[in-house]
Amino acid sequence: MKKITNEPDWNYQENIAIHPCPCNAECGQYVLYIKTGKAHIKFADQGMIDVASLDISDLYDLLANVYLILSVEDKRDELEKTYRKKKKKLK
């Protein structure tokens, strides 16, 4: 799994971004943006659309969901690598 540091070395906000709501000081919300091409609704422009307002507990839920999926994907990668190595040895 790719190590996530405080500032990743790839453009991690090209397709998806989370920014504080303009009134974050009062509402405590963060806004989830996604590139229009990735949305299920079709948009004419190629920019970003705001999809949802998230509070801190939503962000923790999002993080837990993403972590779980990436952990499974990471295990799958490991298994596929092991399988390919064993297959090579058998030839």
Here the contacts of 1-5 (C-beta below 8 Å, separation 24 or greater) are 1/70, 1/71, 1/73, 1/74
Least separation in angstroms between residue 25's CB and Zn ion is: 8
Compare residues 23 and 41 and give the one whose CB is closer to Zn ion.
23
Sites of contact with Zn ion (CB under 5 A): 21, 23, 27, 29
Contact (Cβ atoms closer than 8 angstroms) between residue 61 and residue 44: no
Strand partners, 20: 30
CB-nearer residue toward Zn ion: 50 or 80: 50
Select 27 or 56, whichever has its Cβ closest to Zn ion: 27
Q: Whole-number minimum distance, CB 78 to Zn ion, in Å?
A: 42
